[in-house]
Amino acid sequence: MTPLAYQPLAEGWAVFATHAGAPRHPAWYHNLVANPETIVEIGTETVPVRARVAVGEERDRIWARQKAFYPRYGRYEQQTTRDIPVVILERLTARRPGSRGLDVG
Q: Where are the domains of the chain?
A: 14-91
Chain Cα centroid distance, residue 13: 7
Quote the pLDDT of residue 93: 79
pLDDT in tens, 51-101: 999 999 999 999 999 999 999 999 999 999 999 999 999 999 755 555 555
pLDDT in tens, 29-63: 999 999 999 999 999 999 999 999 999 999 999 99
- The residues that bridge with 91 in the sheet, in sequence order, are 49
- Res 105 pLDDT > 90: no
The C-alpha atoms of residue 37 and residue 51 are separated, in whole angstroms, by 6
The C-alpha atoms of residue 3 and residue 42 are separated, in whole angstroms, by 10
Give me the mean pLDDT over the 2-21 stretch.
93
The pair phi, psi for residue 95, each rounded to 5°, is: -70, 130
Domain covering 14-91 in this structure, CATH number: 2.30.110.10
**Cβ-based neighbour number of residue 94 at 10 Å:** 6
The C-alpha atoms of residue 18 and residue 104 are separated, in whole angstroms, by 28
